[in-house]
Structure 1
Amino acid sequence: MAAEDTPAEAPPAFTAVSELYEGGQILMTGATGFLGQILIEKLLRCFPRVKNIYIIVREKKGLSAQQRIDKMFKTVIFESLHEHMPHFQLKIKVLNGHLDAPNLGLSPEDRSLLMSKVNLVFHCAATLRFDEELKTAINTNMCATLKLLDMAKQCPNLRMFTYVSTAFSHANRKFIEEIIYKPTTHYTELLKLAKMDIAHPKYQEARNRLSKENINTYTLTKAAAEQLIHEEAAYFPVCIFRPSIVVSTWSNPIPGWIDNLYGPTGLVCGAQAGIIRSVLADPDVKA
């Protein structure tokens, strides 16, 4: 690391966590999302000995993968990194790909590079729409996860595979513990549906049945993806992270930063702007 890339504060004394990231060659999906951006900033700021972060990004809205990342790094949350580690972007390796495509849309060269280098994986990408078409939700939240797991199995240096799920993956339960629950539908059944045409009678029948048995396609596919990882990832350590409703940052890297209007953020902004003046709710429900 160049002298001018020295972080503002001396790195903390070695702990088990800092040892995990020592010389880290990290693969990340969902890097352009809210959590992905926060995670990249956190990793680079707190673990300056991370060597590289490989991110799979697709072209979107006329911008190439690299252009999207260059634009992302101009946002305010990366200002401190630009000031104290001006060359941090040299650690970011942008790979053009698409999670819904075969082999994640990666070129053979990029795929080979990842398998030889990567030792940590953060799978943050997902479709977050609650009303997403079932087949689309399966492809993005499950099939992509399976493809990533298959590639991770071929990474001889892998230390950890981290999957970002949701606290609502088993929302039908009153209490959620840190265990893997059996989903309402086995993941293999859902993977079969992903191969069907949405107009096929069997697909239509299954979709109608599953819509009655589950809250939405998001929680259904997230729960099934947890089971998929539990059964398929016997080759390396796995961490399943279940965040609840995501709101703005508390203090780091800056207080109150958010780049979307999801969940309560949209409600608060609407109320503050005077657009939302009343909300229909159950007064007996307690959070």
Structure 2
Amino acid sequence: VLVHVSTAYANCDKSEILEIVYPPPVPPNKLFEAIDWMDDVGPLFDRLRRSNPGIFSKLIPMGGDIMEEGLGLNQLDMQTICDEVSIVFHCAATVKFDEALRISVEMNVLGTQRLVALCHMIKNLL
């Protein structure tokens, strides 16, 4: 996940980058702590920070859940994604080999279908 974030930041000229975090394991205010954590990750993002010091201020976390209809997004977040996003990285999955089949199918198959449906609504998808 960190590699795709680094790649997105390095190659994005948008003023904001929307990141949906699945599933929200903590209250929304904790998502902002995750952004602060990214500033402290260390050498992984040093080159990126040097070339664009305010790059992490573009990150807008949105709580969602790949297991829910509409990806668990509220209407405002859904509209923001449809209007502002041009690239989507899908990294949500369960890779537990002992996961219940129902959960694996719900997350890995139906969750992917939900995300693809959202992508069809994105106006500027590359």
Q: TM-score, normalised by structure 1?
A: 0.39
Alignment of 1:233-244 (within 5 A): none
Letter paired with 1:127: T
Question: Whole-Å Cα distance in 2 between the matches of residues 117 and 61 of structure 1?
Answer: 26
What corresponds to 1:90 in structure 2?
57
Alignment of 1:1-287 (within 5 A): 36-45=1-10, 47-57=11-21, 58-60=23-25, 64-76=30-42, 77-159=44-126
Segments of structure 1 that go 5 or more residues without pairing to the other structure are 1-35, 160-287
Question: Whole-Å Cα distance in 1 between the matches of residues 95 and 14 of structure 2?
Answer: 29
Asked if the contact 1:43–1:50 (Cα under 8 Å) also holds between the matched residues in 2, the reply is no
Letter paired with 2:40: K
Q: For residues 217-236 of structure 1, what are the alpha-carbon distances to aligned partners after superposition, in whole Å with 9 as ceiling and x for unaligned?
A: xxxxxxxxxxxxxxxxxxxx
- CA distance change for structure 1 residues 90 and 61 in 2, over 3 Å: closer, same or farther? closer
Segments of structure 2 that go 5 or more residues without pairing to the other structure are none
Any idea what SS the aligned residue of 2:45 has? helix
Letter paired with 1:52: E
**How far off its partner does 1:75 sit?**
0.8
Question: Whole-Å Cα distance in 1 between the matches of residues 76 and 107 of structure 2?
Answer: 23
- CA distance change for structure 1 residues 108 and 48 in 2, over 3 Å: closer, same or farther? closer
Asked if the contact 1:100–1:139 (Cα under 8 Å) also holds between the matched residues in 2, the reply is yes
Question: Whole-Å Cα distance in 1 between the matches of residues 102 and 124 of structure 2?
Answer: 33
Higher relative contact order (CA 8 A, sep 6+): 2
Question: Whole-Å Cα distance in 2 between the matches of residues 104 and 48 of structure 1?
Answer: 24
Question: Whole-Å Cα distance in 2 between the matches of residues 116 and 43 of structure 1?
Answer: 18
**How far off its partner does 1:85 sit?**
1.6
- CA distance change for structure 1 residues 65 and 84 in 2, over 3 Å: closer, same or farther? same
Letter paired with 1:60: P
Letter paired with 1:93: I
Q: For residues 150-202 of structure 1, what are the alpha-carbon distances to aligned partners after superposition, in whole Å with 9 as ceiling and x for unaligned?
A: 1111122222xxxxxxxxxxxxxxxxxxxxxxxxxxxxxxxxxxxxxxxxxxx
**How far off its partner does 1:48 sit?**
4.9
**How far off its partner does 1:43 sit?**
2.8
Q: TM-score, normalised by structure 2?
A: 0.83
**Number of aligned positions between the proteins:** 123
Percent same amino acid among aligned pairs? 26
Question: Whole-Å Cα distance in 2 between the matches of residues 85 and 91 of structure 1?
Answer: 11
**How far off its partner does 1:51 sit?**
4.1
Letter paired with 2:37: K
